[in-house]
Amino acid sequence: MIRSPITQQLGIKYPIFQGGMAWVAKANLAAAVSNAGGLGIIAAMNMDQNQLKVEIELARSLTDKPFGVNVMLMSPYAKEVAELLVKERVAVITTGAGNPQPYIEGWKQAGSKVFPVIASVALAKLLARAGADGLIAEGAEGGGHIGETSTMALIPQVVDAVDIPVIAAGGIADGRGIAAAFMLGASGVQMGTAFLLTKECRVHPNYKEMVLGASDIATMVTGRSLGHPIRSLKNRLTRTIAQIEKSDPELIEEMGRGALRCAVLEGDKIKGCFMAGQIAGLLKTEVPVKEYLDRITTQADALLRGETWIK
């Protein structure tokens, strides 16, 4: 069994977080991941207080294991969601796409463990000083909103800069990725793209088809010029955005709005934004969450004991 300080700290079997993917990471997926021994996470994304409360209650009805909530800090509802979480006392709160410093003390006082997602050493140091219990360091291989630095370069630098556990994210989808993350000094991993291809994940079948059909060069980054780089699978939408993003940023904002919802719920392969990481090309089948977690942790165990990878 992989040894990590966070399994004991959080009361979970495997040091694996499921990423807080907007529209995707709902109560049913989070509960399935927690029931299988990982840490399931509900994405608060653009939900208001009431919508999030319903999801948290649903997750509590589906699992008695710890689970987390991810707060997307660019959401117009981030503040009210942050306030709800002080009352809800979920096991873990993760944050993304911003600086959660103002909320950390309140969440910790309520008893939640706080694991912000960061993409730079500077923010890692600041949030460690602000009292974060751990950090999720996400490299630019990841899907959705990303930073500049690759996972391979980011993890050891963050690990050296702070004295709290670091969870590696971006480009991980099997036991090799987990073992590599531990070699770089991480105490756990977070995966997003890989969970799109689990049976319990209820995205539109076309989304799964797009991920299954992805190659190593299937993703691209759009929105750099707007300051919100987003990695997603190449399609008509991303190619159009790439063409006009320098000349007409406002049109891009308009095209991007609703495009993720359109991909997840409607499966529109032309107008949808199919966020996914570079590791999409590794994923070849749909599997139940438990089977998947059991398999990749067995692989990681063997590699970390010094066995070589057998295809």
Residues near ligand TUI (CB under 6 A) = 22, 72, 74, 96-99, 117-119, 123, 138, 144-147, 228, 275
* Minimum CB–partner distance for residue 109 and ligand TUI (Å): 23
Name the residue nearer to ligand TUI (CB basis): 43 or 214.
43
* Minimum CB–partner distance for residue 129 and ligand TUI (Å): 14
Name the residue nearer to ligand TUI (CB basis): 36 or 260.
260
Picking from 3, 92, 88, 104, the residue whose alpha carbon sits closest to that of residue 39 is: 92
Residue 96 backbone dihedrals phi, psi, to 5 degrees: -150, 160
Q: Which residue is nearest to ligand TUI (CB)?
A: 144
Name the residue nearer to ligand TUI (CB basis): 73 or 300.
73
Whose structure tokens read 């590599």?
A: 180
* Minimum CB–partner distance for residue 98 and ligand TUI (Å): 4
Name the residue nearer to ligand TUI (CB basis): 23 or 182.
23
* Minimum CB–partner distance for residue 263 and ligand TUI (Å): 12
* Minimum CB–partner distance for residue 3 and ligand TUI (Å): 26
What CA–CA distance (Å, rounded) separates 204 from 264? 5
Name the residue nearer to ligand TUI (CB basis): 35 or 99.
99
Contact (Cβ atoms closer than 8 angstroms) between residue 96 and residue 70: yes
Name the residue nearer to ligand TUI (CB basis): 74 or 183.
74
* Minimum CB–partner distance for residue 145 and ligand TUI (Å): 3
Tokens describing residue 216: 């190593």
What CA–CA distance (Å, rounded) separates 150 from 102? 28
